[in-house]
Chain A
Amino acid sequence: QKEVEQNSGPLSVPEGAIASLNCTYSDRGSQSFFWYRQYSGKSPELIMFIYSNGDKEDGRFTAQLNKASQYVSLLIRDSQPSDSATYLCAVNRDRDDKIIFGKGTRLHILP
């Protein structure tokens, strides 16, 4: 099992709909989780972080964490064409405090 797994996509979502991006991780002791957005040819940009079970909302973004299932997700409400990007899930690995990145999910918002 890969340490941080994401579906590579592309995930196509109509404009205005909810985009749901999923990520699973293998290290049960991980404590902090991050979502980065990366536009083509640009650097990753932090958009959300979460460390407690449950939901965390910030504007149109909601991060959801379920440590028992080792699952973290990102919901984007009212999707806009400008949300089209690759979304990287990152997990802080407990045993050595290293941030492990998933390969990312390509999201395409259809106008």
Chain B
Amino acid sequence: NAGVMQNPRHLVRRRGQEARLRCSPMKGHSHVYWYRQLPEEGLKFMVYLQKENIIDESGMPKERFSAEFPKEGPSILRIQQVVRGDSAAYFCASSPGTLTAGWRDTIQYFGAGTRLSVL
């Protein structure tokens, strides 16, 4: 059973370019979460998605950032017109469900992350 798959592992972009980060959840998981981590900082929640739905995007910057989780295919975190401050590690996590389904379903499993560097 493959874990959470993220690609690319490293992404280098110049200012003004677009960055696309991909995340395939664990098999059987329908909930995807995106986090950003700056060096020496904690994990900052960005967005929570289920298939074809954004459930909570309270951590997403209002501009330039968007996320989707289509019916088929991986979840995508898209950053338009990147700036140097976007350089960070972006982690995706998946879980089977939510607390209403049982506390075990809330456990989040993380992918290896994408390290974005903006030149």
Partners in one complex: yes
| Residues of A bordering B, CB below 8 Å | 31-32, 34, 36, 42-46, 49, 51, 88, 90, 92, 96-104
Question: In the complex, are the beta carbons of B112 and A32 less than 8 A apart?
Answer: no
**Interface on chain B toward A: helix, strand, loop, or mixed SS?**
mixed
Looking at chain B, what size class is its interface with the partner chain?
Answer: 20 to 34
Question: In the complex, are the beta carbons of B91 and A43 less than 8 A apart?
Answer: yes
B72 interfacial by beta-carbon distance below 8 Å: no
Question: In the complex, are the beta carbons of A31 and B43 less than 8 A apart?
Answer: no
1/0 contact string of B27-38 vs chain A (CB within 8 Å): 000000101000
| Residues of B bordering A, CB below 8 Å | 33, 35, 41-43, 45, 48, 56, 91, 98-100, 103, 106-113
Q: A43-B91, A88-B42, A92-B99 are in contact. Are A32 and B106 (CB under 8 A)?
A: yes
Beyond A43-B113, A98-B56, 7 extra complex contacts between A and B, CB < 8 Å = A44-B110, A46-B109, A92-B99, A97-B100, A97-B106, A98-B48, A103-B41
Determine how close the nearest CB of chain B comes to the CB of A103; give it in whole angstroms: 3
